[in-house]
Structure 1
Amino acid sequence: MDYNIYLVDAFTNEAFKGNPAGVVPDARRLNEDQMQKIAIELNASETAFVTSVDRDSYKVRYFSPYGEVDFCGHSTLATFYILALRGYIIPIESGIKTVYIHSNKKRLHVDIYFLDYKIENIVVKMGKPEEVGVIEDRGSFLKHLNLTMEDVNLDNELTDIPIIKLGSKYAIIPIKTKEKLETINMDKKMLRLKLDKLDIQGVHLFFLPEKDSSIIFARNFSNMMNLKEEAATGTANGALIYLLKKKGFINGNQIKAIQGEAMGRESSIYCTIKEKDSDYEVEVGGEGKVVLEGIINV
C-alpha cells in the first residue's frame, strides 16, 4: 500500500539546515512494526506518524531508528507544518489556528500562524517544566564530556548541574565560552552508562554570551540516539528557558536558541516562557522546510 511521506528540516527555512524529521501524515493503516521499519528506512532522528484525526485533534506516534519515543518537539513542528502546508489542516487567511496533538503521554496545543494563507510560524505549547534533581558527582560527569569545573559557568545563581524534565529529562550544563562549547569531545561509552544509571535522556549544553541575552548557543546529545548530536531540540530548549528564567539569568520572557552550528545545520528555536498559577509554562516555535516528499510502498 502506498503512503505519502515527507522529510522536513525543522526550525529553519533553509534546506539542509535544522533538524530533519520524517512525517507520514496519514498512517492510520500502518501497524507498529511497519512504523518502526519506515523510521529505520528513513533514518531521521525521529519520524512522526499521524494515526488518527478527530476534527482539530491529531494523534501522533514517534519512532527513532532505535524504537518508539513518547514525544519529540522538532518532529511535532515538522508534522503540523506538513499538515498545514499540504491541506490536511485547512488554512485561514491570516491569524492563528489552534489544533491539538495527542501523543503517548501528552495532549498539547499547537498554534499555526498564517499570513495571506501562508504558514508564518508553528508554536507548540510544551507545558510545565520541572527541576527534578541535580548531578551529584559533577566532576566525574563532566570528565565524560572532557570538561573540568573551570569550563562550566556555575556561580551563585546556579551552583549545580540541574536535571530538568519537560517530557524527557536533560542534564543542562552552562559552558563558559563558545569556543569550549564548539569543541566538546565526549567519552560516549562512559557517558551513556552514567545517563542510563540516572535515567536521563540527554545532555544539553549552552553558552550565554551575557546575562539577560536573548540569544543562546546550544548543543544537544540524545541518549536515545546513542549520543548522536541533534541539530535542534524543542523540549531541551524549552527546559533551558525555564532554567534561565528561574535562576535569574534572563529578565525577559523570550530567547532564540541557536543550535546545530557544529554540524553545519544551524537551527533557530524560538522559546517563550509565561507565568501561570505561580509556575511557568513554555512554548517553542519555529519554521520548517520540506526537502523531500514522495510515496513509500509498504
Structure 2
Amino acid sequence: MRKFDYELIDVFTDEPFGGNQLAVFKDAAKLTDEEMQRITSELNLSEATFITSAAQDKATVRIFTPNREVPIAGHPTIGTGYVLARDGLIQTVEGENSYLFKELVGEIPIKLYKKHGEIETVEMIQPLPDFKAVIADKESVSALLSIDAIDISDRSPMQIVSAGVPFLFVPIKDSAAMKQIKFRQDVWEKEFLAKGWEVDIFAFSLETLDKKATVHSRMFGPTMGISEDPATGAASGPLGAYLVHYGLVSEESEGNYLIISEQGIEIERPSQIRITVESKEGKINHVSIAGSSVDIGYGTIVLKE
C-alpha cells in the first residue's frame, strides 16, 4: 500500500471552521495526475494542492478542484505557503520573507510575514488581469442567479476578467439581493454553455455586512465542481482590479488601493481577503491578495500499489 499524508487547514480566516478548506500534500512527487484528481474528488474540498518538488527558493505546486486541475488559485497558494513555512520547509525569519511557487500559469511570487515566531500572513502576487468580454444580457444572468434583472447594478458592466482563471463579474445593488441569490446549474448548462460563456460566476456588492470590509462577494464555480466557494483568491485579485478600473473604490494613497472582500457568509464560512492594487496613470501595475490560515487537522490517503 502507498500512503500519502496531508494537512488540513482553513484559509482566509483567523478562526477555525471559517474561510476556505484546503488539503496540502507536501510529498506528492510519486502521485500521477489521475491520482491527484481522484484524491481531490474523494476529499470533496474546493481544492487540494500537491507539492511535487521543493527547494530552498522555489516549490512546484499542482492545484486541483473536484472537477479539474487549475493553472492558478488563491487560497491554495496562500494556504500551501503557510503550511510549508510553518513546518520549516520554507526558511523564514521575523518579518517579511520571499519565495516562489511554480504553478501551471508560471512562477508566482509569495511573501510570508512572520511575527513572534508564527506565520501571521501570506501574500500572493498575482498576474495582471485581462479584461475580456462584456456581457449585456441581464435577463440570462438574473435567471442564473434567481434574482430580478433590476437587482443588477448599472454602475459598472458585467464583464469576464481573468488572471489565469476567467470569472464573470456581476455587480449587485445591495446585500439583500446578494442574500437572495440561488445559483441555477440548469440555466448555466442550457443557456450559458450554449452561448459559449463557460466561466465561473462572481457576484459582488459594495454594500457590506462588516463595516471594515469594502465589498461583499459570492462565487459559484460550475466549471470546477464547486457549488459555492467560501473564499476565492483567484477571483479576488481581478475583483480588486475591476473595482479600481471602474472607479468603484477610493485610494488609500496616491495610486494605491486596499480592498477587503468579505465572502462565505451566506454558507456560514466567513472569510476575509485583503486585496492590494497599484495603479499609475490609469494603468494597473500590481495586484496581490493576502490572508491568514488556521490549522484544523491532518490525514492519510491510502492507495493500492
Q: TM-score, normalised by structure 1?
A: 0.92
- Paired residue for 1:274? 278
Question: 1:167 deviation in Å?
Answer: 1.1
Question: 1:275 deviation in Å?
Answer: 2.6
SS of residue in 1 equivalent to 2:223: helix
Q: Distance in 2 between matches of 1:194 and 1:286?
A: 36
Question: 1:214 deviation in Å?
Answer: 5.2
- Paired residue for 1:172? 169
Q: Distance in 1 between matches of 2:28 and 2:158?
A: 40
- With 231-240 and 25-34 compared, the bigger mean Cα shift is at 25-34
Q: Distance in 2 between matches of 1:297 and 1:214?
A: 42
What residue identity is the alignment partner of 1:28?
A
What residue identity is the alignment partner of 2:214?
I
Q: Distance in 2 between matches of 1:54 and 1:266?
A: 34
8 Å CA contact 1:214–1:254 kept in 2: the answer is: no
8 Å CA contact 1:21–1:45 kept in 2: the answer is: yes
8 Å CA contact 2:10–2:20 kept in 1: the answer is: yes
8 Å CA contact 1:145–1:191 kept in 2: the answer is: no
Tell me if 1:152 matches 2:152: yes
- Paired residue for 2:183? 186
Size of the aligned set, in residue pairs, is 292
Alignment of 1:29-108 (within 5 A): 29-92=30-93, 94-108=94-108
Q: Which runs of 4+ in 1 moved over 4 A?
A: none
8 Å CA contact 1:232–1:260 kept in 2: the answer is: yes
8 Å CA contact 2:40–2:66 kept in 1: the answer is: yes
Question: 1:199 deviation in Å?
Answer: 4.3
SS of residue in 2 equivalent to 1:269: strand
Q: Which runs of 5+ in 1 are unaligned?
A: none
- Paired residue for 2:300? 295
Alignment deviations for residues 182-218 of structure 1 (CA, whole Å, 9 cap, x no partner): 11023211123444343443111111029xx852111
Question: 1:2 deviation in Å?
Answer: 2.7
- Paired residue for 2:22? 21
- Paired residue for 1:163? 160
What residue identity is the alignment partner of 1:288?
S
8 Å CA contact 1:141–1:191 kept in 2: the answer is: no
Q: TM-score, normalised by structure 2?
A: 0.90
What residue identity is the alignment partner of 1:207?
S
- Paired residue for 2:258? 254
- With 284-293 and 60-69 compared, the bigger mean Cα shift is at 60-69
8 Å CA contact 2:66–2:226 kept in 1: the answer is: no
* Pair 195,280 (structure 1): closer, same or farther in 2 beyond 3 Å: farther
SS of residue in 1 equivalent to 2:23: strand
8 Å CA contact 2:18–2:270 kept in 1: the answer is: yes
- Paired residue for 1:201? 199
Question: 1:227 deviation in Å?
Answer: 5.2
* Pair 34,276 (structure 1): closer, same or farther in 2 beyond 3 Å: farther
8 Å CA contact 2:66–2:225 kept in 1: the answer is: no
- Paired residue for 1:221? 220
Same amino acid, percent of matched pairs? 28
8 Å CA contact 1:242–1:273 kept in 2: the answer is: yes
Q: Distance in 2 between matches of 1:222 and 1:169?
A: 11
- Paired residue for 2:254? none
Q: Distance in 2 between matches of 1:113 and 1:195?
A: 41
Question: 1:281 deviation in Å?
Answer: 2.2
SS of residue in 2 equivalent to 1:224: coil
